[in-house]
Structure 1
């Protein structure tokens, strides 16, 4: 049977530590031993080199053996229970082997079950101390109000439980730079409270492991890693130790701890909303190992902190929220008039700044810019509003460092790096709160830009942790949730006010337009009256005088050119009189308010023929064929005018080469367009026709396709027909072919 050492011997320094596969070191710490078992065959596939120190069997004798050959039924039963119940990531229990009680940690990694054995040690009458410390957890709620206070109490309790030299609570910012927010230590140690540590101290892959495995202990930083051996025939190349409690630590981290003069550590992950919020970090100058009970008690204190994060943050924001809500009530309860001036009065109120402790406020509404407090110039506010309307995909955006968003905004970010923006959903209308720049002082544990030292061409972690002060510019104070919430409530209130203003302005505009429409209609009625009486009378006199001149003896003595001019004058006066008559018909059609009735189109054409069509057809030797037509809902007067105009239009544009033929028929069932909802009446002639590209133009008022010298008329006839069809909730179309005639289709709604 062959074996393989899986120790990761890759050379690691700060050039490549961010890529170091720390979850597969192939080694463990020496205060326990490790076995890995194939979950299907229960054959031991991995064994640490130090197994003989604990169970008297070296790895060569352990590898390839069935678990049942090395352990009793109690261990076999635990393995079976673990395989059945996969709800727990890590299962721990006590197990006696060779007269030694071990703490066994069991967890799964792919198709392997990993067993880690640590000799069980009790320390300093821990049972009584642990019971008392657990009882005190509830008292922490009563005795502390802020998150910092709670963290400080927990560090003191954890130090009493573990008796480490130093216990810290370490909180990450959004870039994962750490800050020590609470500390309990021995008096001879230099304080770390308030110091910041750069994110490079804990690289990304280490943070991932802290999320997976919430407790990490290094009993002795001077330990020698114990390599792991595996069966060659095992399918895997290395063993994932992400959840391991004995996993060997990165040599870079060990060197970092030595540079801090730390002999052993305990780290508890503080997980909040599935993210690494912070750590409880314990340091001791000498090697130190803890029992499972102590580690569990420390984990309990860590969970207690994370359970209180939201509550404590809300408590800390309570006073801020109370002030913001008072400002909001001040703004929303004001009895200002709902108008543009009222908006100006609403904004020019110091409560608008107290909402979120801002230094200035801008509202860009239409072409107006309303400003209050310390703000950019109007034009710069407009430029910022335009930029944000393109940059921000949602209604709201806030930042404490506008400079980090764009270098093009230096004209604002140098003075107002903090903005809280809300879009008003109309072009680039918006409201913006501003905050001035604050120069923040950060105390680093050593210079963060010189976190390494180059010794004999090898990059190593820094050795100096002396306080380094950095002044950070281009930032404002951060926006608190309570401040943002108050701003959002005001934004919603302002939106309602603006909608009310728009509705009120629309209503007023509608009232003004109604008044204008009334005045216009009155003027049109006057024009109609003038057209009917005052304009018609002079035209009748002109025509009468021209007729007298033409019919009298004076015509014989008048020169021929004068006679022609009199005839033209008479024709022009007649055309003008007809035009006035047609205009009156067109305007009266829009004013018709007749009641609709069921009309038999066959009977209507009999009346129309007797009243006015018979003479036209006799004179023009035209033929009119009317097929069976349906009953429709309409106004008789308007329908007579409609059909009369269309038929007279066919007569006017008849062909000179053949006799005029007009056919009127019901096409409701034969045309594909709108067959179910409309009665379709077709009027077809064989006149001169037109190019089909003009089929829309012919329905426009005063539109003509032919010279008025060749064909008389006002150009209103078909426009009047379109208006009559619209009055009947229908429509009219025309299809023409030059030299072949026209087909007019009238669509009347069914029922």
Structure 2
């Protein structure tokens, strides 16, 4: 059988380290050995080249063999358990091989089970036991109040347990730049406390592995990687070692550690809310290996820190939260009259600055501008509000560096880089808190700028001396307690604004109701005047004109006087008809009868007998009424509606042909405007209509023709429209000049 190693020997440097496949190095550290077995057959598929020095069997002898041919049955039972475990879980067991105790770590990797064997060394004595180490953790709760104090005592405890030269606790910011927040070290070492490290020190794929494998040891940075071998027939050429404890390390990272003059390291991941919050890193100047007991102890310390993060941060923010809460309560606790002037009281109060420790506050509400403290000008605030109304997707946005959002905001960001913005959901209406620039000096652990070596190859930093850098165009960040207080004020303001607007609308409605009531009373007076004071003189004029026209006196008068009397009689009749139509129009609006089910076929039969027969006979016209539906409506109003439309057709008949008026049901053939309607069509073949005026004809007093040639008051079709509105419907018209008009009546189908 032939074999080959799976060492990943591709060239790695800082040009491609972000893409380095560090989870499949194909090699391990030499302080243990590795085997991988097929999870179905338990055949050994991968073996490290150094297994012979630990168990006296070469990798050539191990590969292709069944696991039970080489190892004890108890380990085989352990492998059986691994098969049913979660893929991201590592389990351990101790076993004696060749008179040496080993700690065996095993986990699943695709279709294989990876087993790593490390010689078991006991490093705890009776005075420094795991029990005593764990017992100390309980005292940390009583002796520390803040997260930094807790990190300090954990760093000291881990140094006491592990005996490393230096123990660092550091946390990441949102961009994964690290800051050392606690340190315990040997006196001769330079301090790293307070220093920052750029995110490039730990690439993204390395951070991903720290999430999965929370404890990482490099026993000797000068180690020579041990390659892994497989048989030539094995198809998968790589083995995922993401959860491996022996996994070989990136050469870039080894070079980085050598530049720091570090001989061995231990790293514990601090994971909070499923994210890499920070790390505990231990450095030693010489090679160093830890027992399983010590590994468990330091891992427990790491879990303890992460379990306390929320509580300790809340404790640290308590004073800020109390201060902001007091400021908020002093504002929202005031009794308000819920009037426009209360807006000024709410947003022009200097206490509002203390809600989130800002230097200024502005509000734009219904085109009114309010400001408190040190703020941009009204013009610049409105420019900013316009930008944010389009940029911000939700109701809220805050930043400590406005310039990083857009270079176009320099007119604000130069003085106020920090803003806390809330939309009031009405175009550009908003409230904004401001913070001035806070120039902050950050000290890096060496110049974070990457440079080239003499061979033009990008290399890790060689210097880790303190390097000062100034951060500009930033304000202090907005804390959770401050944002919580401003959000509460925003909600309180929204509720009060809505209440004020509702009360104003209610008052407007009350005033409009009063005006409408007074107007209706005036209209009633006008109706009374129209009925009595106007019609009485008209009746007398018509009576006197009739006497003159009907008697012999008219013939004795000059012809021009006769014509004037006839015109006077005609004008009086038109005036009386106009007053009658106006009364009908106003009566339609006041009518509040209940709707009835009306068979339009019967209604037309009654209408024909009462009003239409004489009109059609005298005008030699034809009325055709097809089968019509039953609708809901007010009978006398519908009679008025249909009578007006038919008489309108008679009035505008064509002199070129006999008039024909057809009434039909078009419910199934015409567009129903998205709702269900009964559609009644009144079509004639009269003089027609230019569709430019198809809406104008329904306006009161609108006339398209000469009033001398075509009589009427101009109210008939307006009355038809009003009747249709009364029936929750509408009316439309379309026509062709010289050919006729079609009127469509839309009655809702309930």
Taking structure 2 as the reference length, what is the TM-score of the superposition?
Answer: 0.91
Give 1:411-422 correspondences, 5 Å limit.
411-422=411-422
Work out the CA distance in 1 between the residues paired with 2:632 and 2:78: 90
Residue 710 of structure 1 is matched in structure 2 by: 709
Cα-to-partner distance string for 1:651-680 (whole Å, 9 max, x where unaligned): 333454666666778x59998898x98888
Work out the CA distance in 2 between the residues paired with 1:18 and 1:671: 69
Cα-to-partner distance string for 1:708-748 (whole Å, 9 max, x where unaligned): 23321122113223323433445556676777766666666
Residue 324 of structure 2 is matched in structure 1 by: 324
Residue 515 of structure 2 is matched in structure 1 by: 516
Residue 281 of structure 1 is matched in structure 2 by: 281
Task: After TM superposition, give the deviation of residue 645 of structure 1 in Å.
Answer: 2.7
C-alpha contact (below 8 Å) 2:325/2:485 kept by paired residues: yes
Work out the CA distance in 2 between the residues paired with 1:291 and 1:525: 103
Task: After TM superposition, give the deviation of residue 92 of structure 1 in Å.
Answer: 1.1
Task: After TM superposition, give the deviation of residue 41 of structure 1 in Å.
Answer: 2.7
Residues 480 and 670 of structure 1: CA distance in aligned 2, closer, same or farther (over 3 Å) = closer
Per mean C-alpha deviation after superposition, the further-off stretch among 739-748 and 126-135 is 739-748
Cα-to-partner distance string for 1:90-117 (whole Å, 9 max, x where unaligned): 1111111111111111122222221111
Work out the CA distance in 1 between the residues paired with 2:570 and 2:130: 120
Residues 37 and 682 of structure 1: CA distance in aligned 2, closer, same or farther (over 3 Å) = closer
Residue 721 of structure 1 is matched in structure 2 by: 720
Residue 467 of structure 1 is matched in structure 2 by: 466
Task: After TM superposition, give the deviation of residue 207 of structure 1 in Å.
Answer: 1.2
Task: After TM superposition, give the deviation of residue 10 of structure 1 in Å.
Answer: 2.5
Residue 502 of structure 1 is matched in structure 2 by: 501
C-alpha contact (below 8 Å) 1:92/1:106 kept by paired residues: yes
C-alpha contact (below 8 Å) 1:43/1:65 kept by paired residues: yes
C-alpha contact (below 8 Å) 2:88/2:243 kept by paired residues: no
Residue 254 of structure 1 is matched in structure 2 by: 254
Secondary structure of 2:458's aligned partner? strand
Residue 190 of structure 1 is matched in structure 2 by: 190
Matched, 1:226 2:245: no
Matched, 1:8 2:8: yes
Secondary structure of 1:35's aligned partner? strand
Per mean C-alpha deviation after superposition, the further-off stretch among 519-528 and 624-633 is 624-633
Task: After TM superposition, give the deviation of residue 48 of structure 1 in Å.
Answer: 1.6
Work out the CA distance in 1 between the residues paired with 2:7 and 2:65: 21
Work out the CA distance in 2 between the residues paired with 1:269 and 1:292: 17
Work out the CA distance in 2 between the residues paired with 1:745 and 1:22: 78
Per mean C-alpha deviation after superposition, the further-off stretch among 343-352 and 431-440 is 343-352
Give 1:421-432 correspondences, 5 Å limit.
421-432=421-432
Task: After TM superposition, give the deviation of residue 644 of structure 1 in Å.
Answer: 3.7
Residue 102 of structure 1 is matched in structure 2 by: 102
Work out the CA distance in 2 between the residues paired with 1:632 and 1:107: 79
Residue 407 of structure 1 is matched in structure 2 by: 407
C-alpha contact (below 8 Å) 2:87/2:108 kept by paired residues: no
Task: After TM superposition, give the deviation of residue 530 of structure 1 in Å.
Answer: 4.1
| Count of aligned residue pairs for this structure pair | 747
Matched, 1:168 2:168: yes
C-alpha contact (below 8 Å) 2:124/2:294 kept by paired residues: no
Residues 664 and 41 of structure 1: CA distance in aligned 2, closer, same or farther (over 3 Å) = closer
RMSD value, Cα = 3.3
Task: After TM superposition, give the deviation of residue 265 of structure 1 in Å.
Answer: 0.7
Cα-to-partner distance string for 1:678-705 (whole Å, 9 max, x where unaligned): 8887767665565788665544333445
Task: After TM superposition, give the deviation of residue 516 of structure 1 in Å.
Answer: 2.2
Residue 578 of structure 1 is matched in structure 2 by: 577
Secondary structure of 1:461's aligned partner? coil
Residue 139 of structure 2 is matched in structure 1 by: 139
Residue 487 of structure 1 is matched in structure 2 by: 486
Residues 126 and 91 of structure 1: CA distance in aligned 2, closer, same or farther (over 3 Å) = farther
Work out the CA distance in 2 between the residues paired with 1:313 and 1:654: 89
Secondary structure of 2:376's aligned partner? coil
Work out the CA distance in 1 between the residues paired with 2:495 and 2:413: 31
Task: After TM superposition, give the deviation of residue 408 of structure 1 in Å.
Answer: 0.7
Secondary structure of 2:30's aligned partner? coil
Taking structure 1 as the reference length, what is the TM-score of the superposition?
Answer: 0.91
Residue 19 of structure 2 is matched in structure 1 by: 19
Residues 42 and 600 of structure 1: CA distance in aligned 2, closer, same or farther (over 3 Å) = closer
Matched, 1:118 2:125: no
Residues 55 and 515 of structure 1: CA distance in aligned 2, closer, same or farther (over 3 Å) = same
Residues 621 and 30 of structure 1: CA distance in aligned 2, closer, same or farther (over 3 Å) = closer
Per mean C-alpha deviation after superposition, the further-off stretch among 646-655 and 57-66 is 646-655
Residues 664 and 121 of structure 1: CA distance in aligned 2, closer, same or farther (over 3 Å) = closer
Residues 569 and 273 of structure 1: CA distance in aligned 2, closer, same or farther (over 3 Å) = same
Residue 591 of structure 1 is matched in structure 2 by: 590
Residue 640 of structure 2 is matched in structure 1 by: 641
C-alpha contact (below 8 Å) 1:446/1:465 kept by paired residues: yes
Per mean C-alpha deviation after superposition, the further-off stretch among 135-144 and 192-201 is 135-144
Secondary structure of 1:398's aligned partner? strand
C-alpha contact (below 8 Å) 1:453/1:461 kept by paired residues: no
Work out the CA distance in 1 between the residues paired with 2:57 and 2:605: 122
Residue 445 of structure 1 is matched in structure 2 by: 445
Residue 64 of structure 2 is matched in structure 1 by: 64
Per mean C-alpha deviation after superposition, the further-off stretch among 213-222 and 510-519 is 510-519
Work out the CA distance in 1 between the residues paired with 2:639 and 2:712: 19
Work out the CA distance in 1 between the residues paired with 2:337 and 2:327: 19
Residues 533 and 64 of structure 1: CA distance in aligned 2, closer, same or farther (over 3 Å) = same
Work out the CA distance in 1 between the residues paired with 2:749 and 2:340: 50
